[in-house]
C-alpha cells in the first residue's frame, strides 16, 4: 500500500467525522495537496468521494459564516486542485468541476490560501495547462471572468491580500495578452 493512499483515506475519514473545524480544514487542504501530486490513475479511486466531501463543505448553508469561511476557502482550493490536476480532456464532468471552481473565485477569507490558489490557476494558464486549453469557449469565457473578478476584488479590497506580488504580475500579463 502506498503512503499517499493510506493518508488520503484518513483525510477523507477526518472530513466525514468532523471532530472539529480545524481538522476538517487541514484534512480537506491535504486532499487538495494529494490531488495535485498523485497520478490520475491512483487518484481516480478517491476522486468522487473527495468531490462529495468538498461539495458538502462548500454548499453548507453556513459555509461562509465567520466560523467556517476559512475552511470553505480551503475546500474550494482543493476543488481547484482536482479541477486542474485530475481532469481529463473532453470530459463533461471535468468541465463541470472546473466551472464550479471558477464560479467560487475569488477566495476572500483566507489570504494565504487565496494567494496560493489564485497563483496556481494563473500559473497553469501561463503554462498552458492541457485541460484548460482544451475547454470549450463557454468555459474559457468563465475563466476570463474569474480572472477579471480576482483582479477587481484585489483592486477594490487590497486589505484582503488575495494576490501576492507574483500573482499580480501573472494576472496583468494574462489580461494584457487577451
Partner 1 sequence: MEISTKLMELYQEKIEGLLGNGIAPYFYKVIQNKDATPNEILYTVCFFDTFLEHCSMNVNNIRLIIISLVLLEGC
Where do contacts with partner 1 occur on this chain (CB under 8 A)? 1-7, 10-11, 14, 19-20, 22-23, 26-27, 29-30, 33-34, 36-39, 42
Minimum CB distance to partner 1 smaller for 85 or for 101: 85
From the CB of 6, what's the least distance to partner 1, in Å?
7
- Reduced to 3 DSSP states, what percent helix, strand and coil does the chain have, rounded to the nearest 5? 75, 0, 25
Minimum CB distance to partner 1 smaller for 14 or for 101: 14
Q: Label residue 90 left, alpha or beta by phi (over 0 means left) and psi (-120 to 50 means alpha).
A: left
Minimum CB distance to partner 1 smaller for 20 or for 156: 20
Enumerate residues 6+ apart whose C-beta is below 8 A from 74.
Answer: 25, 26, 28, 29, 32, 110, 113
- Enumerate the H helices of 61-129 as residue ranges: 69-85, 92-103, 111-126
In Å, the largest CA–CA distance within the chain is: 49
From the CB of 135, what's the least distance to partner 1, in Å?
26
From the CB of 36, what's the least distance to partner 1, in Å?
8
Minimum CB distance to partner 1 smaller for 40 or for 89: 40
From the CB of 151, what's the least distance to partner 1, in Å?
26
Amino acid at each position: 500500500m502506498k503512503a499517499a493512499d493510506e493518508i488520503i483515506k484518513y483525510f477523507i475519514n477526518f472530513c466525514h467525522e468532523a471532530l472539529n473545524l480545524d481538522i476538517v480544514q487541514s484534512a480537506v487542504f491535504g486532499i487538495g495537496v494529494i490531488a495535485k501530486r498523485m497520478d490520475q490513475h491512483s487518484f481516480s479511486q478517491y476522486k468522487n468521494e473527495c468531490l462529495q466531501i468538498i461539495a458538502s463543505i462548500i454548499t453548507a448553508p453556513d459555509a461562509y459564516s465567520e466560523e467556517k469561511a476559512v475552511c470553505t476557502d480551503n475546500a474550494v482550493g482543493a476543488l481547484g486542485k482536482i479541477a486542474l490536476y485530475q481532469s481529463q480532456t473532453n470530459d463533461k464532468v471535468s468541465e463541470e468541476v472546473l466551472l464550479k471552481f471558477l464560479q467560487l473565485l475569488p477566495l476572500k477569507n483566507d489570504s494565504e490560501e487565496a494567494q496560493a490558489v489564485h497563483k496556481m490557476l494563473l500559473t497553469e494558464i501561463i503554462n498552458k495547462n492541457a485541460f484548460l486549453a482544451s475547454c470549450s469557449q463557454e468555459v474559457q469565457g468563465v475563466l476570463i471572468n474569474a480572472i477579471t473578478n480576482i483582479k477587481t476584488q484585489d483592486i477594490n479590497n487590497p486589505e484582503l491580500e488575495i494576490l501576492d506580488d507574483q500573482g499580480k504580475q501573472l494576472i496583468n500579463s494574462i489580461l494584457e495578452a487577451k
